[in-house]
Structure 1
Amino acid sequence: MAEVLATAQVENVQVLDRHSPRHPLMRGQSPGRRFETVLLDGYTPPRELREHVARQHGYAATLSAYKHSIWDHLAVRTPHFPERTAWLTRQLTRFQILRVEPTDDTHGIELGLVPDERDQDLSPPPLELQVKRFLSLDGLLLLLLLYREAQDVGHRRQAAQLREALHRLGHEWAIHYRYQGEVKDTWRFLLETRIVDWAPGFKPAADAMQRAEQQLLREYDFLARYAPTKPRTPPAQLKGRGERRWRRRVLMRACSLHYEGVLGLAQFEYRDATETYAWLTAHREQIHRHRTRAMELLIGLDELEVGAALDPLVMPTSLYDERRRPPVVDAEEHVFGGQNLFDLIPVRRG
């Protein structure tokens, strides 16, 4: 539906369904709420409507997109896909990706064609996944199939790499195709529960549902006041199809809010304990206060504006003696005149 609206250069289905003036896409068709019915109920568009749209100049791609195998793989994790092997072969060639086995690395090393890095973990990832290359349904399905295959055969490192690439692709996809509102929320739901993870039964918590409905009601009030085209029925008065669609909009927004909350959690990782990081983590808040004050001094505020000086950080002698002033990069040189935080954060040997 989003692709049909984009191709037709309209913002909503009512423009396509209206009796007068008739949109060029629907000339020759009897009047009726054809597109609105599909949108409200989420039904599969009738074959007659699909074929009519596909016959119009410039709309053939919408039917190809509708029939694409990606949708089967979002409905079922392992759908019936008899042409999978042949399709994968074509797409791997098209996207210039090779299926390499361990023996190929061994042969390359033995023949002097590949550097021997088997005992190192410093080489760049062997698969460069620039997500802009995959901004198509074929590209999305290819990465999804490779990701699920890596999961199924236990290639954890490659699965993690492909998962991260799919997440980046999903966010870039919404920007590239200008998804907004309900379409954007629905895409986020698919991305999180059918692509990067398989959780088709996911349901957001009650508080997320409540926050989602409050957000959508505020958006409705804004449109009712200021939009040139006013919403026809207040949400509280919706019935039948309209009410079902409203509940679906709330669910999709709640899913989006849930995953925004997940991504907004504190970022951290686990590492082996070392003296350096033991000191850094133990003094995290104190360092943060020093850093904030030093940044204010760097941007030109004077001592009176930034407040009283803080007590120096106390660093163990073993760490203090290893300190080295970081180099000043060109951007810092231009903005701060050669100074950096190292110069302004007081530290003494403890």
Structure 2
Amino acid sequence: MMNLDFDFSASGIRTIQIEQEAIANLKSHIGDDFIGACKYMLACQGRVVITGMGKSGHIGKKIAATLASTGTPSFFVHPGEASHGDMGMITKNDVVIAMSNSGETAEVTSLLPLLKRLHIPVISMTGKPGSTLALGSHCHLDTSVAEEACPLDLAPTSSTTAALVMGDALAIALLEARGFTAEEFAFSHPGGSLGRRLLLKVETLMHSGDEMPRVLPSTPLAEALMIVTSKGLGMTTVIDEQGQLQGVFTDGDLRRAIDNGVDIRQSQIASLMTVGGKTTSPDLLAAEALTVMEDSKINALVAMKDGLPVGVITMHDMLKAGVV
């Protein structure tokens, strides 16, 4: 019967406390088998295949995703499907992590003879060290808990949390052992903000060819303003007849010219431009170019290659690409 006056906060706090204790107790389960499991996975020439039924399967999918994104190629195979054809996805070069809280899940234990026949290392993750799965594996990771947060002791709660944390412990141990870098992580997350910051280069975002605004030093200011407006970058490069960069003319230069009462029709751009200007390399990471802009308090950089200007990148380009 529903009780709208039930103490929901107390129940939530109790659940968190039980699961906190379950996680804290995991530290005593990190021993030789954990080290052995890490070594098997680190030496794996194929992929780490994770399998499990029900809630263990859901946790297994998350662990596989975490491993894959941190330098350990991994995927999940449903144990029921494995018995009906998907065993073909597992090769002799792989390592298998089999998950079952009871260690007796039939769909999982039925795979043991097949895996042994292929001489595939099996790492089990169970809450029962004396179970069929635990005893039939090369390394057993004990994820047993004192109690489930579920008061009926039916819904997997503390046990699935413990398994998830154990999976994270494996993934991070392997990440550190491999010397996995932030750039490698970005290659696994090209659509994320970190991926954009660590993978996008200036050449990918810069305006080049006809998109790059350019005028000669002798160009009248009025004509240069038309170029600035048509290209829509709020600036233009100033390049001599030999293609050498002489400077840049920006919105800031225009404001200073107006403040100084410059005749827009008569003045040439050479007398108003910022000589030289800040430059970058097309091969530089966009995030690094952004730092140059921020430090210099400017909104655009000229990309130089072999001593010649080849493009322009702006703060707006950074914002549009999600680098900022």
TM-score, normalized by the shorter chain, greater than 0.5: no
Q: Which is bigger in relative contact order (C-alpha 8 A, separation at least 6)?
A: 2
Which category of TM-score, normalised to the shorter sequence, fits these structures?
A: under 0.3
* TM-score for the superposition, normalised by structure 1: 0.19
**Bigger proportion of residues as strand:** 2
* TM-score for the superposition, normalised by structure 2: 0.20
